[in-house]
Chains A and B, each alone.
Chain A
Amino acid sequence: MELVALVKHDCPVCDQLLPALDEARAGGAPIRILSQSGPGETAAQAHRLKLESVPELDAELELSARFDPDAVPTVVLVDNGDERGRVEGLDRPRLAELADRAGVALALDGLPERRPGCASATRDPDVAARLAARAARDAGRLQARELQIGELEDPLEAMFDRGFSDGLPLIPPTPERVVAMLEATSRDPQDLVALVPPYDGEATIEKVAINAVMAGCPQNVFPIVLAAVEAACDPEFALLGLVSTTHPSGPVIVVSGPLADKAGMNSHGNALGQGNRANLTIGRALQLVVRNVGGGRPQEEDRAAHGQPGKLSSCFAERLHDSPWPGLAQERGVAEGETGVTLFAGEAPRLIVDQLARTPEELCGSLAGGLEWIGHRRLRFAFDALLVVGPEHARLFREAGWDRSRVRQELQARSESPAGELARGAGGIAEGIEAKFVTDPAAAVAKFASPDQILLAHAGGDAGLFSMVYGGWVAGEIGSAPVTRSVEPWL
């Protein structure tokens, strides 16, 4: 049996108890005294208190982390490495009893009956984070390679130099920050989320967390990021082709469900724009995973001719409380009450104005006109679309009771054009449908291969008779199909 005492240099209660512990130890009692403070501070405390010997140092707070006290001084009764009892703070009767069990006589007379002590160094938030990171590494929860950024390097510049950045500064993914991010999911950090194109990099939850930290994600969006990575890497989404195409499309993330609000996402004014941390960092985290884990870099694997700003981040939440429809993810199979993400391969969004339509039919005429020009009016069946209907437009559909299917049918019908207007060379425009397919110039040709290739979401501010359309990339089986996943498995 021995007593192990934990103290620190700037604790007045430790000052009161230390002489008694020191005296007993000097007399041969089995007592170890360990300081949580540095060597200079510990030596100065011993000198100030005129101790017989300087306390040992609890190097790297190893014992403190093991006993994990709230306060110091803490005296622990240890038997062959096992704890048999402890007193945190100064509690004279209990300390006397503990010492008695260890066969130690402590001179406690004159000390106060009870004092609560000071917070253990392990309760300092910075220290606690460091200890949590160390424990995660020891337990195998962290396995990523550690990279050292030298004293003379600026961490932000060093991360640019190492090629980790999308062009904007990154938050350094220290082990402490990554461990904190991992707290946002109950899943094992080494679980595989997906193989990420173009090089099939293994995106473990840990790797996604590292990139989410760099993107600036708040912890509560992390499960949404995981679901987005899973969805983006589904073979149906064709991320390899999407990364390597000359087309400007990138993954657009639509979040539908209660977690969007809880994570602070924006589904209202400027939902597709700047100013909301959750929206922007979710989209950015996915793109950083593609870059760093997948290995897709602009002008290398990513052959986009122009790209577009949405390839930094493209993510918004659906406005569900007054939507004419259930959430997009719920329509696509995610259970009511759960949150889902829908990934769409989209270019930059574009405005469709109609401030005069007063019936859903009139509005569909305008919206279909906007849809028809995706890519080029004369290119048919190639693209799909994500139409983000604004609340003032959506009101017409809600009041008329039009569900998604009804709206899609109407948009499909109204985006037809006569084949003769779409033929190659018509009107002096070379682009168009090959002459051999134009047997009847009056025959109506749809824009989309099927009405299902028009996705409908509801988002935007209260005012503005506007909707927004994201044109798609090569659609369907030959290209990318939208993919929806529940966030639930990642909580």
Chain B
Amino acid sequence: MAVTILDPTREAAPAGRPLASERLSGEGQATIALLDIRKPRGDVFLDELDRLIAARGHTVIRTAKPTFTKPAPPDVRAEIATRCDAVIEALAD
């Protein structure tokens, strides 16, 4: 039998996990942001991705956080949200 319980947490996490946006269809051209978080050698990884993505005819926008220790500033997030269809983040060294 299904049971209803009350959430014991501060409810910071969503009950489900809806996608923040639609997945890319895989067809047509997309604008993709490559976000460098400023960890050592992250740029090497992103350079290679840049080459591979561009070779498939997509547009690449390179962007970066000022420092890996802090969240991306609002203008960086806004640029990605308004200009790009997807973002790839180079997370760690």
**Contact (Cβ within 8 A) B12 A173:** no
Which of chain A's residues has its CB closest to B4's CB? A146
Structural contact, B10 and A201, CB atoms closer than 8 A:
yes
Say if the beta carbon of A151 comes within 8 Å of chain B. Answer: yes
Number of chain B residues whose Cβ lies closer than 8 Å to a Cβ of chain A: 13
In the complex, A326→B4 CA distance in Å? 46
Most B-side CB within 10 Å, residue of A142, A196, A207, A294:
A207
Cβ-Cβ contact count across A and B, 8 Å cutoff: 71
- Tell me whether chain B's interface is mostly helix, strand or loop, or mixed: loop
0/1 interface trace, chain A 136-148, chain B, CB 8 Å (1 if under): 0000001011111
Is B25 an interface residue, CB under 8 A from the partner? no
Q: Which of A146, A151, A199, A294 contacts B5 (CB 8 A)?
A: A146
Contacts A145-B15, A147-B15 given; indicate if A201 touches B5 (C-beta within 8 A).
Answer: no
Q: Report yes or no: A199 in contact with B9, Cβ–Cβ below 8 A.
A: no
Chain B, Cβ-Cβ closest to A155? B3
**Do A148 and B2 touch (CB < 8 A)?**
yes
Nearest to B1 among chain A residues (CB) is: A151
Distance of A156 Cα from B15 Cα, bound (Å): 18
B4-A145 in contact (CB<8A):
no
- Which residue of A has the minimal Cβ distance to B9? A292
Residues of A within 8 A of B7 (CB): 144-147, 210
Q: Which of B5, B10, B11 has the most CB of A within 10 A?
A: B5
Chain A 79-98, CB within 8 Å of chain B: the 1/0 string? 00000000000000000000
In residues 1-31 of chain B, which contact A (Cβ within 8 Å)? 1-12, 15
> Residue A423 at the B interface, CB < 8 A?
no
Q: Does A178 contact B (CB under 8 A)?
A: yes
- Cα–Cα distance between A199 and B7 once the two chains are bound (Å): 17
- Chain B residues contacting A148 (CB-CB under 8 Å) are 2-4
| Cβ-defined contact, B2 with A142, below 8 A | no
A405 interface hit (Cβ, 8 Å): no
Q: Do the beta carbons of B8 and A175 come within 8 Å of each other?
A: no
Decide if A155 touches B5 in the complex (CB within 8 Å).
Answer: yes
Docked pose: A145 CA to B5 CA in angstroms = 9
Residues from chain B with Cβ under 8 Å of A59 in the complex: none
Q: Is A172 an interface residue (CB 8 A)?
A: yes
Are B4 and A150 in contact, CB atoms less than 8 angstroms apart? no
| Chain B neighbourhood of A261, CB < 8 A | none
Residues of B within 8 A of A142 (CB): 6
Shortest CB distance A122–B (Å): 20
A295: which B residues are within 8 A, CB to CB? Answer: 9-10, 12
How far apart are A223's CB and chain B's nearest CB, in angstroms? 19
Do residues B3 and A292 form an inter-chain contact, with CB atoms below 8 A? no
CB interface residues, B 48-75, toward A, < 8 Å: none
Query: A444 contacts the other chain (Cβ, under 8 Å)?
Result: no
What residue in chain B is nearest A295 (Cβ atoms)?
B10
Complex Cα distance A172/B6, Å?
9
- B11: shortest Cβ distance to chain A, in Å? 5
Asked if B3 contacts A174 (CB within 8 A), the reply is yes
Pick from B2, B9, B11, B15: contact of A150, CB under 8 Å:
B2
- Most interface-central of A145, A151, A155, A288 (chain B CB within 10 A): A145
> Which residues from A are CB-within-8-Å of B6?
142, 144-147, 173-175, 178, 206, 210
A466 at the interface (CB under 8 A from B): no
Min distance, Cβ B25 to any Cβ of chain A, angstroms: 32
Q: Which residue of B lies closest to A214 (CB)?
A: B8
A residues 191-212 with Cβ under 8 Å of B? 196, 199, 201-202, 206-207, 210-211
Interface flag for A293 (CB, 8 Å) = yes
The distance in angstroms between the C-alpha atoms of A211 and B15, with both chains bound, is 18
Find out whether the CB atom of B5 lies under 8 angstroms from the CB atom of A149.
yes
Inter-chain CA distance A136–B11, complex, in Å, is: 20
- Chain A nearest CB, measured from B36 CB (Å): 27
Q: Are B9 and A175 in contact (CB under 8 A)?
A: no
Given A175-B4, A292-B8, 6 extra CB contacts under 8 A: A142-B6, A145-B7, A155-B5, A210-B8, A294-B10, A295-B10
Could you name 6 residue pairs across A and B whose Cβ atoms are closer than 8 Å?
A: A147-B6, A147-B15, A172-B3, A201-B10, A210-B6, A292-B9
Which 8 A-B residue pairings sit nearest by Cβ, starting from the closest?
A: A201-B10, A145-B7, A144-B6, A292-B8, A210-B8, A149-B3, A292-B9, A151-B2
Q: Which residues of A approach B to under 8 Å, CB–CB?
A: 142, 144-151, 155, 159, 164, 172-175, 178, 196, 199, 201-202, 206-207, 210-211, 214, 288, 292-295
